[in-house]
Structures are given as structure tokens and as C-alpha cells.
Homo-oligomer: A and B are copies of this chain.
């Protein structure tokens, strides 16, 4: 077996330790005589798995008691509808559009009420985060929405917007658990797990309790009403059980690494290695404003499409894979989530230097 360094934007690399454990338990979870895929979600063993996953997540993120943790299905895309369906009590919300995912969330919300675009960085291909210190947020807006880390463009909100007292909803799919977070600053934090936490098919939503009510928009499907799963500890119906089990293992792994403060340090160190070469290189350059750079997704280009394509191809031969950039930015993108070891980034940078020498 030879593992590659996988820079995929998501689904993405998982800790090898986690995969080894899952492999060992595949046919017999801890003497139960069955795989976690095969067990009733109503049984004691699975109940232990999901409860422990929630407990570990609460500990990692220091989630206050007045927030519920939900394990959901349907991807962030389903929450693009669920957020307005659960929260648009006055039919209005403010959206900050910093990338394609925020834009899609805004468009979906527009189908359920007045979704006001209060800021955008689309004018320069979402290559920066707009100043959100004094936005014109409608007083009767039910919430302010952001996508905190923009996977495609490689930007991140390093300062949360001034919501002027409104509830903040954040899609954190691509920066989930990458650093400590003050949960109390948010009303809702949610994201797909397939970038930084686990296999695709699980969404984790952390929701302040007062927002979980029966007072949802008419026609909200039972499965999109947050209260449905909140009242049933995410076991209203059969959950994506195996995915949650893997997430639970990643939570344990994160605790062993020293928790989110340690992950932040490590992620900063990894990103610095990559951004340093981008700032010094004669061939490669980053595509976003320095102040807004993501620690998770690092897009870069040579400025020559053919050379970009050659880079991606040659890198693959070195076991550095999934480096092709998103079509809307072009070039390359290295996603360096929690589970990407520092040596993967070092190997990438070494290869970039060799490639630069050969092609300048």
C-alpha cells in the first residue's frame, strides 16, 4: 500500500490512524460481531457511538449548553433552504456573498423571502473578503449569513462581520474544527463534514436553542425543520450512521493532537510554508488578497494555463494529487485540511521549487 498526498478540496484526506481503526473494526466492532454499518441505530452500541461523538465535539469546540448539536443529511445545500425555512420569521435576511456557495445560499433563500445581498466580492472573482464592519443591514432582518471559509477561492473571514445585533449564521464546511471558535458569537454554525471531519453524507449543525421551534415557514418538510432532529437527538429517523462513527473517530484524533488550539498552530505553520513560497516565487503566485488568505485552501497560478496543467500532471507522478484548481479560478489549489500532514506540504513546496527551476 502506498498512500498519496491528497490535496482534494473535499471529500478530502482523513487521518491515517482513523482509517486504520475503521479498517480493523470493519467486520466486528469491538466484539459486537458486526460492522457499524450493520447495527440498529436504536441499539445500545450505536447510541454510545453517537452520544460520545457529540460529547467529544462539544468538548473540542466548547459548545455552550444552550446550543444543540445536530447530525443531519443532505449536504450544506439542504441547509441553504433549511436556514430560511427555520429562521425567516419576518421574511427578510442579509447575505454576504463571498463565493459560489454563499451565492447559492443567497439564491436559495431568495425563494423563501427577501434575501438582501448586503456585501459581495464578486466584482473581483471573490478574491477578497469585503469590509463588513459597517454594513447596511435591514433592521428587521432575521439573520446575517456568511460562508466563513471559501473553498473555491481560498479566502476566509478573519473577523466576523458586525451584524449590528442580528443573529449570525455561518457555513463553516471548509474550516470546521481548524481552529478554536467562540460559538456564542454565532446563532448557527453548520457545515458538511466531508472536508475536515469525515466522509460525505453528514452535516453537523450547532444551533442556539431558542431558534429551534415549530414556528417554521409553511410547507417546510418535516426533515428540514431543525426541531425534528433536535427533539430526537438526531435519531428521528435512521441517521447516516457510519459517517457519524468516522466523525467520532476524527474528534478523538483531534483531542489527541491537542485540540483546536494545537490544530490552529499546526495549520498556520503548514499554510505559512506554502504562502511563503508563493510570495517569493518567480513562477507561482497566490490569487487572493493576503489579509484574507484561508489556512485551508490555497489557490495559486503560474499565469500560463499550459504550464499549470503540466504542473498538476507532474505533481501527480510524485504522489501529490488533486491539485487542479476549480474551473472558475483555474490553475492549482492545494487544500491542506487538518489531516494533511506537514510533510505533505513540505513535499509539495519542494516540488514547486524544482518545477520553478525547470520552467523559468
Among all A-B residue pairs, the 8 with the closest Cβ atoms: A201-B240, A4-B33, A81-B221, A23-B26, A37-B199, A73-B73, A1-B28, A200-B238
Query: Given A39-B11, A73-B73, A192-B238, does the pair A33, B3 have CB atoms closer than 8 Å?
Result: yes
Asked if residues A81 and B241 are in contact (CB atoms below 8 Å), the reply is no
Query: Given A8-B38, A201-B241, A238-B10, does the pair A1, B27 have CB atoms closer than 8 Å?
Result: yes
Q: Which residues of B contact A43 (CB under 8 A)?
A: 8, 322
Asked if residues A14 and B32 are in contact (CB atoms below 8 Å), the reply is no
Residue A349 at the chain B interface, CB threshold 8 Å: no
Asked if residues A194 and B19 are in contact (CB atoms below 8 Å), the reply is no
Number of copies: 2
Q: Which residues of B contact A221 (CB under 8 A)?
A: 78, 80-82, 85, 108, 221, 224
Q: Which residues of B contact A2 (CB under 8 A)?
A: 28, 33
A200–B244 CA distance with the chains assembled, in angstroms: 11
Q: Taking the nearest CB of chain B, how far is it from the CB of A289, in angstroms?
A: 27
Give chain A interface residues in 15-29, CB to chain B under 8 Å. Answer: 16, 19-20, 22-23, 26-28
Asked if residues A242 and B199 are in contact (CB atoms below 8 Å), the reply is yes
Give the one of A8, A223, A322 with max B CB within 10 A.
Answer: A223
Q: Taking the nearest CB of chain B, how far is it from the CB of A165, in angstroms?
A: 29
Asked if residues A34 and B81 are in contact (CB atoms below 8 Å), the reply is no
Give chain A interface residues in 282-299, CB to chain B under 8 Å. Answer: none
Residue A246 at the chain B interface, CB threshold 8 Å: yes
Residue A331 at the chain B interface, CB threshold 8 Å: no
Residue A177 at the chain B interface, CB threshold 8 Å: no
Asked if residues B19 and A237 are in contact (CB atoms below 8 Å), the reply is no
Asked if residues A23 and B27 are in contact (CB atoms below 8 Å), the reply is yes
Q: Taking the nearest CB of chain B, how far is it from the CB of A86, in angstroms?
A: 12
Q: CB < 8 Å: which of B6, B33, B40, B74 contacts A78?
A: B74
Q: Pick 21 A–B contacts, CB within 8 A, sort by A.
A: A6-B39, A11-B39, A12-B38, A13-B38, A14-B38, A73-B78, A77-B222, A77-B237, A80-B222, A81-B221, A82-B221, A194-B238, A199-B241, A199-B242, A201-B240, A201-B243, A217-B219, A221-B224, A240-B240, A242-B243, A243-B243
Give chain A interface residues in 26-67, CB to chain B under 8 Å. Answer: 26-28, 32-35, 37-41, 43
Query: Which of chain B's residues has its CB closest to A75's CB?
Result: B237
Q: Taking the nearest CB of chain B, how far is it from the CB of A105, in angstroms?
A: 11
Asked if residues B26 and A75 are in contact (CB atoms below 8 Å), the reply is no
Query: Which of chain B's residues has its CB closest to A194's CB?
Result: B238
A205-247 interface code vs B (CB 8 A; 1 in, 0 out): 0000000000001110111100000000000111111110010
Give the one of A37, A74, A108, A236 with max B CB within 10 A.
Answer: A37
Q: CB < 8 Å: which of B111, B202, B238 contacts A75?
A: B238
Q: Which residues of B contact A238 (CB under 8 A)?
A: 10-11, 75, 192, 194, 200
Residue A312 at the chain B interface, CB threshold 8 Å: no
A185-207 interface code vs B (CB 8 A; 1 in, 0 out): 00000001010001111100000
Q: Which residues of B contact A87 (CB under 8 A)?
A: none
Q: Taking the nearest CB of chain B, how far is it from the CB of A334, in angstroms?
A: 13
